[in-house]
Chain A
Amino acid sequence: MTLIILGLGSSALAQTYNTFEPSKTQFMLRGYGHTGFEYLDTGGEQESTFLGATFAPIFLYKHSDKLMFEAELEFELEGNELKTGLEYADVMYVLNKHMTVRAGKFLLPFGTFMERLHPAWINRLPSRPLGFGHDGIAPASDIGVELRGAFDLGGPKLNYAVYVTNGPRIKDGSEEPEEAGMLDFGYYEDVNLAKALGGRIGLLPLSDSSMEWGISAYTTNSTGAEDSDYKDVGAFLWALDLSYVKSITPLQGVVDIKAQYNSSNVDTATYYEIEDGISEPYSFDNQSSSFYTQLSYRPIMSGSDFMKQLEFVGRYSDFNAPEGAEWEEKSTQYAFGLNYWLSWRSVVKFSYQTTKMEGGHDSDGTTRTNGLFVHWAIGF
């Protein structure tokens, strides 16, 4: 009897223990958040504010070794309102060792900044370079299908991505006259039958993968609604990107260089501005460009534990919007930062940024904006 009880007991204990084995399907909640303080001086007009926390949960569902669903939500306080967004939500399947298919809303591999570097705990500065984000010229995400993969070339490596998406909508000026001719990459509903085609090829020529060169292209034949005058207005965008990350012993630290050039060419079209109640047609050569380069240095080989956690950052960026457009603009920005890494995914950033803007949204003259930022970001 004792043996039977012992046997049953050990069997039950083993079953209980087995419940701790990982399930075949796995679910993870990850993400990041940040908060901070900003002081801005725009042409003598000053403002300062603590920033409401931004929270971006990432949901990962691994169905098998090949099939996964991923999604990222965004929650941000803007003034008194809670803004929500869906950064991406896509399903992916590994077709073979060199190819994965993704479908849904995904971050576009147009260069590397928006796809890989923009999250607050990764971005070395509190702000994005000019040309990215709201009113930027680089597409960030869209809805469609993508194939991507990578090859080992016996030392060097090559990666690729090609995708088809709904594409952008051109702003015709009916809602916001000062933005007529601007591509709206945040309008995800397809307004016509045409689709956008894009892709990126990345080459890592060195065996230690310290350097990556990338070239991206993105094109569509139509950006206007099917029944509008802008149906045949197409667009072609391209980008070049560079990444170099290397631990350099004489410098006792890691040097990280990033750069990206974006070019946008939209077919010329006629827009209308209302002056004194009269609609006046106008047109312009719709070409925009932006560029940024960033250098950061972390003295991880320093003898001081405090110094090891520091990072020094400098970034230059510029943005040129079309001459003759209501949103004509030439801007340059310098940003300098000092970061303190609390862990590999939590950083406190101190930075100073100065931006000189000529024009911009139908304004005349030059505006200089200086800002001081303290941000605290954490990934989880």
Chain B
Amino acid sequence: MASIMVACSSNKKPIATDTATEVAGSEVDFKIEKSGAQLWGEVCNRCHIAPSPADYNDTDWETISLHMRVRANLTEEEITKIESFLKSAN
């Protein structure tokens, strides 16, 4: 039973909502930090309608995020926060 519980708990990664904030916060203290949800609304809509988080699983969002980071030339902070939001809301 214990091993089953370990397997279950290790399958879903914890939501890394704070990581990007810490990285960005240490670099630019004076600006108001935006949430992943805010950036999802602002950044994705520049080209296409912002995607529904529920449409893909965490693994897929990781792949799509790397693809979109390069395709749309996004900053590391933007894509990290957006990816975290999509994975937390799907």
- What is the interface of chain A, defined by CB distance below 8 A to chain B? 10-11, 13-14, 17-18, 20-22, 26-28, 30, 60, 62, 65, 68, 70, 92, 94, 97-98, 100, 102, 109, 115-117, 121-122, 148-152, 154-155, 157, 159-161, 202, 207-210, 212, 243, 245, 254, 256, 341, 343-345, 379
Contacts and interface: CB of A to CB of B under 8 A. Distances in A.
Chain B contact surface mostly? helix
The 8 closest A-B pairs by CB, nearest first: A159-B73, A22-B59, A344-B49, A97-B76, A14-B7, A14-B3, A17-B7, A150-B75
Interface residues of B, number: 41
B89 interface: no
A150 B74 contact: yes
B47 A117 contact: yes
A149 B76 CA distance: 9
Contacts of A345: 48-49, 51
B10 to A, nearest CB: 7
Given A17-B7, A68-B66, A161 B51 contact: no
B40 to A, nearest CB: 12
B75 A17 contact: no
A116 B71 contact: yes
B72 interface: yes
Contact of B67 (A68, A109, A121, A245): A68
A152 B66 contact: no
Nearest to B46: A245
A157 to B, nearest CB: 6
B60 interface: yes
Contacts of B50: 344
